[in-house]
Structure 1
Amino acid sequence: MRATIHNYLESAKQRREENGEKGFSLIELIIVVVILGILVAIAIPVFGSIQENARINATKSVAAAAATQWSAQLANGETPTEYKTGDTKITVAGKPGATATIDSVCATATNTDLPATAQSYKSGPGCS
C-alpha cells in the first residue's frame, strides 16, 4: 500500500513538473492533514494526564510543606500556625495543637480540582 501511494505521488509530481506546474497536489495536502490529525489525537490525552499529575503532585507537596512547617515550629517550641497555600483550590487541615509532639503531626491537603477518588493526600510522621 505504501509503495502504491509513493509511486502515485511520484508520478503525479513528474507530470506536474513536465507541465510546468509548481506546488502541492490535493492528495499530498490531504495526507499531511491526516498525519497532523493523528498526532493531535495522540497528544491531547497525553497532555490531559500531564495536567492531572501536576495537580496531584502540587497537592502532595502542599501536604509535605505544611507538615514540615508544623514540625519545625513544634521543634522550636512555637505554637503551630495555619499553613497558607498560594492555590485557592488546595486546602490544608490537621494543624496540631500547641501541646502536640512532632511525632503526631499529620497534614492533609485537599484539592477540589481533582476527582473525588484522588482529592486528599496526607504527609507527616503522625500519618498512618
Structure 2
Amino acid sequence: MRATVQNYIRAERERREENGEKGFSLIELIIVVVILGILAAIAIPTFISIQGTAETNALKASAANGASVAAAAYANNTAVTADSFKSLNTDSVVVTLKSGTTLTDFCVQAAKNGKTQTSGPGC
C-alpha cells in the first residue's frame, strides 16, 4: 500500500514537472490532513490527562503547605484558625483544618471544584 501511494505521488510529481505545473496535488494535501488528524487524536487526550494530574498535584501541594502551617502553629502552642490558612486560599483552592488539635493528630484538607486532598499525621 505504501509503495503504491509513493509510486502515485512520484508519478504525479513527474507529470507536473513535465507540464510546468506548480503546487501540491490533492492527494498530497489529503495525506497531510490525515497525518495532522492522527496527531491531534493522540495529543488531545494526552493533554487532558496531564491537565488533570497537574490539578491533583496542585491540591496535594496546597494540603502539604497547610499541614506545614498547622504543624508550625501547634509546635509554637498557637491555635490554628481559618486565618492561619488565609494565604493558601488562592485560585478557588480552600485549605481548612479537617480534624485534630495536637501536633500528632491534625489533618489538613485542600479542596477545589469538588476534588479534595488531605495531608497531616491524622489523615
Q: Which runs of 4+ in 1 moved over 4 A?
A: none
Letter in 1 for 2:95: V
CA contact (8 A) 1:60 1:109 kept: yes
Who is 2:117 aligned against? 121
Who is 1:16 aligned against? 16
CA contact (8 A) 1:70 1:96 kept: no
SS at match of 1:107: strand
SS at match of 1:94: strand
Percent of aligned pairs with the same residue?
54
Structure 1 residues without counterparts, runs of 5 or longer: none
Who is 1:3 aligned against? 3
Following superposition, the deviation at residue 47 of structure 1 comes to: 0.8
Taking the TM superposition and a 5 Å limit, the aligned residue runs for 1:3-82 are 3-82=3-82
Q: C-alpha root-mean-square deviation of aligned residues, in Å?
A: 1.6
Following superposition, the deviation at residue 95 of structure 1 comes to: 5.7
Matched pairs, number: 119
Distance 1:75 1:95 in 2: 18
CA contact (8 A) 1:81 1:95 kept: no
CA contact (8 A) 2:99 2:122 kept: no
Following superposition, the deviation at residue 122 of structure 1 comes to: 1.1
Distance 1:87 1:60 in 2: 14
Following superposition, the deviation at residue 109 of structure 1 comes to: 1.5
Following superposition, the deviation at residue 110 of structure 1 comes to: 1.8
CA contact (8 A) 1:70 1:81 kept: no
Following superposition, the deviation at residue 87 of structure 1 comes to: 1.6
Who is 2:108 aligned against? 107
